[in-house]
Amino acid sequence: MRRLAAVWHSTLGRHLLVTAAAVLVVVLVVESVDDFRAVQLTQMAYLGIAAGGLTVLTGLNGQISLGHGALMAVGAYTTALLVSDDPVLPLPVALLTATAVTSAVGVVIGAAAARLRGPYLAGATLALAVALPGVALHFGETLGGEQGLRLRVPETPGWVLDAAYFVTAHDLTRSKYVAYLAWFTLVVVYLLLANLARSRVGRRWRAVRDDEVAAELAGIHLGRARVSAFVVSAAAAGAGGAVMALAVRLTAPTGFTLTLSLTLLTAVVLGGLGSLTGALAGAALLTFLPSVITDAGTSAGLDDIRAAELAPLVYGVVMVAVVLLAPRGLVGTLHAGWRRLRNPAVTPDPTTSADAASPGATVATSKGDTR
């Protein structure tokens, strides 16, 4: 027992324990649901992966990006191009390549973004999000144009089928295979992000976010810290996009509109900036709540198309309310409330804990006022 406590007290040990538990939960959950829910879970996973990247960028480094939908598009198109080729690459290789390509794009965008602040950065990344679908249309011959690229998920490898049968005692369907792939990717990405956030790199990101001058005096290269945060975040978005390509099986410009970028931002803000738990919670809300809200809308007498728009309406209102009333996001607010319940004497200081592992980050973290 003492040894377990020792493992728990080291950051890596704790993260690995949580990872092992997460893998177990993933297997249990995916096995206990039907194929339809498995597809929904896959959607939650790819939103969660990309939102995890965004929350690290915005929450820990103070850079806002509306271009993560575009970065997901880079990952998705790379995957679609790689997987449609003969001979088919193994999926993990395709996922890794897509992540690497998106990281390379992230270096370019990050280098530009590192020089911009607040609204300028938001505007520039917004322009990216609006511009990128046009590129796919312009180079229609390679990128499929309006129709997009169809993707056939390759045969599940034999050893995976065997292993799955060995563990669960029934056959693995194609959608569950993709769900597993998505969730294991998510677990790996989150493990890496959580470790990075707790490491020297993460401390540098936070230092740059909180006070540029102090960070520079402490010997931190501001540009390098900003670009590295952007690249890590872009890599996560690329991995998310790659999983999305596998899940949706069609990579088309209409899937990567401004709405996707705004959706990611919503997930991150709802959960609480800087919190990976929050990003996952936000992704879950964005995946499972729409059908509930839409059903409520249709039973209230709206037609289907209008009822489908109720969900974004609710998110938007909640997002505005979160910024105005609970800038720590849902997870952050719950966490603070829980702490207050446990020891009422200490009033938590909102500025102290703003890291990925403990969800106490605030929206209002960027103190560097550069007007």
The binder of other proteins chosen from 124, 153, 161, 222 (CB under 8 A) = 124
Is residue 58 a contact point for other proteins (CB under 8 A)?
yes
Judged on CB neighbours under 10 Å (0-12, 13-18, 19+), 278 is buried
Q: Which of 164, 319 has the CB closer to other proteins?
A: 319
Structure token pair of residue 7: 């493992």
Structure token pair of residue 325: 């009333």
On whether the CB atoms of residues 271 and 281 are closer than 8 A, the answer is yes
- Rounded-to-integer distance, Cα 190 and Cα 15, Å: 9
The DSSP 8-state label assigned to residue 256 in this structure reads: G
Is residue 66 a contact point for other proteins (CB under 8 A)?
yes
Candidates 27-35, 127-135, 162-170, 231-239; binding stretch for other proteins (CB under 8 A): 127-135
Question: What residues numbered 94-123 form the site for other proteins, per CB under 8 A?
Answer: 112, 115-120, 122-123
Structure token pair of residue 144: 């499929």
Structure token pair of residue 364: 């209002």
- Rounded-to-integer distance, Cα 129 and Cα 65, Å: 10
Taking residues 249 to 288 in sequence order and writing x for each that binds other proteins by CB under 8 A, - otherwise, the string is ---------x---x--xx--x-------------------
Is residue 304 a contact point for other proteins (CB under 8 A)?
no
Q: Which helix (H) or strand (E) holds 39?
A: helix 35-55
On whether the CB atoms of residues 261 and 129 are closer than 8 A, the answer is yes
Is residue 306 a contact point for other proteins (CB under 8 A)?
yes
Candidates 3-11, 41-49, 223-231, 298-306; binding stretch for other proteins (CB under 8 A): 298-306
The binder of other proteins chosen from 134, 157, 223, 337 (CB under 8 A) = 134
The least distance separating other proteins from the CB of residue 140, rounded to whole angstroms, comes to: 9
The DSSP 8-state label assigned to residue 274 in this structure reads: T
Question: What residues numbered 31-50 form the site for other proteins, per CB under 8 A?
Answer: none
The least distance separating other proteins from the CB of residue 318, rounded to whole angstroms, comes to: 8
Q: Which of 94, 132 has the CB closer to other proteins?
A: 132
Is residue 313 a contact point for other proteins (CB under 8 A)?
yes
Q: Which of 93, 313 has the CB closer to other proteins?
A: 313
**HEC secondary structure over 111-138:** HHHCCCCHHHHHHHHHHHHHHHHHHHHH
Is residue 315 a contact point for other proteins (CB under 8 A)?
yes
Is residue 363 a contact point for other proteins (CB under 8 A)?
yes
Structure token pair of residue 97: 């390549």
- Rounded-to-integer distance, Cα 155 and Cα 355, Å: 40
Beta bridge partners of 250: 150
Question: What residues numbered 175-204 form the site for other proteins, per CB under 8 A?
Answer: none
Is residue 364 a contact point for other proteins (CB under 8 A)?
yes
Task: Report the SS3 class of residue 371.
Answer: coil
Query: Helix, strand, coil proportions of the chain in percent (round to 5)?
Result: 75, 0, 25
- Rounded-to-integer distance, Cα 213 and Cα 219, Å: 10
The binder of other proteins chosen from 16, 27, 89, 130 (CB under 8 A) = 130
- Rounded-to-integer distance, Cα 247 and Cα 174, Å: 10
Is residue 138 a contact point for other proteins (CB under 8 A)?
yes
Phi (first) and psi of residue 280, to 5 degrees: -65, -40
The binder of other proteins chosen from 310, 354, 356, 357 (CB under 8 A) = 310
Is residue 316 a contact point for other proteins (CB under 8 A)?
yes
The least distance separating other proteins from the CB of residue 281, rounded to whole angstroms, comes to: 17
Is residue 143 a contact point for other proteins (CB under 8 A)?
no
Number of residues interacting with other proteins: please give it, by CB under 8 A: 52
Residue ranges in contact with other proteins by CB under 8 A: 58, 62, 64, 66, 112, 115-120, 122-124, 126-128, 130-132, 134-135, 137-138, 258, 262, 265-266, 269, 302, 305-306, 309-313, 315-317, 319-320, 323-324, 327, 363-367, 369, 371
